[in-house]
Amino acid sequence: MDSAKLTLNGKEYDLPVLVGSEQEVAIDITQLRAQTGAITLDDGYGNTGSCKSAITFIDGDKGILRYRGYPIEELANKSSFIEVAYLLIYGELPTVDQLDQFKHDLTHHSLLPEDMKKMFEGFTSSAHPMGVLSSMVASLSTFYPETDYKQEANLNIIRLISKIKTIAAFSYKKSLGQPYIYPRNDLSYTGDLLHMMFAVPSEKYDFSPVIEDALDKLLILHADHEQNCSTSTVRMAGSSHANVYATISAGVGALWGPLHGGANQEVIEMLELIANDNMDYKKYISQAKDKNSGFKLMGFGHRVYKNFDPRAQILKGASDRVLHELGINDPLLEVAKNLERVALEDPYFIERKLYPNVDFYSGIIYKALGIPTNMFTVMFAIGRLPGWLAHWKELRDNPALRINRPRQVYTGHTRRVYTPVENR
Ligand code: ACO
C-alpha cells in the first residue's frame, strides 16, 4: 500500500501513504492544497495526524499505552517518575550514572529566584493554583531569557522539571496563608514535593512511603499521552519558536479545562455532590443521559480510549490499596464504584463506549494523600511536564519544523458594504 486515490471534480490524484512503526496508516495530504486547491476539514482533529512522533504509542481500542516502547503497566510498577521523565525526553532508559546525574541536576535547580516570592505575594489567597502555576511558569522566562535553543534546551528542561514542584508547593502554601517551605536536597523528587506542600517550619514532617509511592505512580501515569489537547497546544506554541517557559505555560492553560486535566477536580466535586444527595447515583446517571441537563459524568469517556483506559485500570487497584494501607474509609469510593458498575451495564454508556478515564480514580487517590481538590490539576501538570518537554524537544530538534498554522473553511458573510453608524 503506497498511495491513496482521491477524485475531485473528475480529476484523480495520488496521495502518498505512510505506515507508522505500529502499522498505523496515514494518508499524507501535505501537497493536497498545492495540487488540488482543496483542504481537508476535521473539526476537533479526530482523524488528523498533526506530526510524526517517536515518543508515545496508544492503541485506544486495545487499551495500550507505551512510552518509548515500554508498556505503562511495567513503568508504573518498576520505574520512578524521574526515570520515566528521562526516558520520555531523551528516548532511552538512563544508565545508573545518567540517572544519578539527572537526579543531581534536578535537586540542584529546585530553588526559585527570591524575587519570585514578591510575585506570589501579588496573588489573592483565593487564586486558583493553576492560574498561579501558568503565570509563574511564564514568568521564569523573565529570569532565564532564552537566547539559543541548542545551548540552553537541556538546562531549561532541568530548571522546569525541578522548579515546577517548588512553584506548585508555594502556590499551595500561599493559598493557606502559611510560610513557604524551601526544597530539601536529601529527598526524592516526589518526597520533596510532599515536604514543601505539607511541612510547617516548627515541625518535622514525616510522610509515609505509601504516600510517596502512590504519588510517584500517579505522576508516571500522567507523564505523556501523545497528541492530547495540552500537548498539541505545547507543540502549536513551540512551533513559533516561543521560549520554552511561555510554551509550557500555554500547555498548563490548556490542561486546566474541565474537559481535559481539570476533570480530576470535577470528578471529586461530582462524587461529593452525589454523596451529599443521599448517595443517589442513579439520579445522576439519568441526568448524564439527558442531553438537555447539560450534566456529564465527569471522569467518563475519552477521545482515544474506546474500550478501557489502561491508566484507570492501574489506578483502580492502586486506589483500593492506598485507602486500605492508610486506613481510610472514603464514601466517595463507594459512590465511584456504584457509578462505574451502573454506567458499564447501561446501554447509553455501552453504545457510546464511555469508560472511566484516568481522572476518575486519580482524584480519589489525591484526596486520600491529603492533596486539596484545587491542587489536583496542578499535580497532573507536574506529571505531564516531561511529556510536554519531550514533545517540545522533538519539535524543535526537527530541522524541517514549520510553524503550525491550520486552514479553515470560512462560513461567514461574503463581501458587504460598510454602513456608517448613523445610518444603521
Ligand atoms: N457523560 C455522558 N455522556 C457523555 C460523556 C460523559 N462523560 N462523554 C461523552 N458523552 C456522550 C456525548 O454526549 C456523545 O453523545 P451523542 O453521540 O449522543 O451525541 C457521545 O458520548 C460521544 O462523546 P463526544 O463528546 O463526541 O466524545 P469526545 O471524544 O468529543 O469527548 C471527552 C471526549 C471530552 C473526554 C468527553 O467524553 C467528556 O466530556 N468526558 C467528561 C470529562 C472528562 O472526564 N475529561 C477527562 C478526559 S481524560 C483526560 O483529559 C486526562
Record the pTM.
0.92
pLDDT digits (tens, 9 = 90+) for 235-279: 999 999 999 999 999 999 999 999 999 888 889 999 999 999 998
Q: Are residues 243 and 272 in the same domain?
A: no
Determine the residue type at 86: Y
The CA-based angle 143-147-148, given to 5 degrees, is 130
383-418 confidence digits (pLDDT tens): 999 999 999 999 999 999 999 999 999 999 999 999
252 and 288 fall within a common domain: no
3-class SS of residue 362: helix
* Domain shared by 55 and 89, yes or no: no
In the predicted structure, residue 191 carries a pLDDT above the cut 90 = yes
The pLDDT of residue 67 is 98
In angstroms, what is the span from residue 302 Cα to ligand 1's centroid? 6
Within this chain, do residues 147 and 40 fall inside the same structural domain, yes or no? Answer: no
The residue whose CA has the least distance to atom 39 of ligand 1 is 259
Whether 420 maps to a domain, the answer reads no
Query: C-alpha cell of 269?
Result: 466535586
The DSSP symbol for 50 reads -
Give residue 278's region: left, alpha or beta (phi > 0; psi -120 to 50).
Answer: left
Q: Give me the mean pLDDT over the 219-229 stretch.
A: 97
Q: Residue 261 corresponds to which cell in the numbers above?
A: 486535566
383 lines ligand 1 (CB under 6 A): no
Both 150 and 189 in one domain: the answer is yes
E strand residue ranges, 11-161: 11-19, 25-27, 56-59, 64-67, 70-71
Measured in Å, residue 181 CA sits from the centre of ligand 1 at: 39
User: Bridge partners of 18?
Assistant: 26
Domain span at 40:
3-59
Domain shared by 363 and 229, yes or no: no
Would you say the CB of residue 384 lies under 6 angstroms from ligand 1?
Answer: no
254 and 301 co-located in one domain: no
Contact (Cβ atoms closer than 8 angstroms) between residue 272 and residue 326: no
Claim to verify: residue 358 and residue 273 sit in the same structural domain: yes
Rg of the chain (C-alpha set): 23
Separation of 251 CA from ligand 1 center, angstroms?
A: 21
Tens digit of each residue's pLDDT (9 = 90 or more) over 36-55: 999 999 999 999 999 999 99
How far is it between the farthest Cα atoms of the chain? Answer: 79
Ligand 1 atom 44, closest CA: 299
How many angstroms does the Cα of residue 300 sit away from the middle of ligand 1?
A: 7
| Catalytic residue (one of 128, 195, 225, 302) | 302
Same domain, 43 and 120: no
- Residue 59 gets which letter from DSSP? E
Q: Is 315 a pocket residue for ligand 1 (Cβ < 6 Å)? A: no
Identify whether 61 is a catalytic site residue: no
Residue 218 forms part of a structural domain: yes
pLDDT at 1 over 80: no
**Does the beta carbon of 297 sit less than 6 angstroms from any atom of ligand 1?**
yes
Task: Report the CATH number that the domain containing residue 38 is assigned in CATH.
Answer: 2.20.28
User: Alpha-carbon distance 323 to 104, whole Å?
Assistant: 33
Alpha helices in 177-307 (DSSP H): 189-198, 209-222, 229-238, 244-256, 263-275, 281-289
Domain-located, residue 411: no
The reply to whether ligand 1 has any atom less than 6 angstroms from the CB of 357 is yes
Q: What is the DSSP secondary structure assignment for residue 292, as one 8-state letter?
A: G
pLDDT at 104: 97
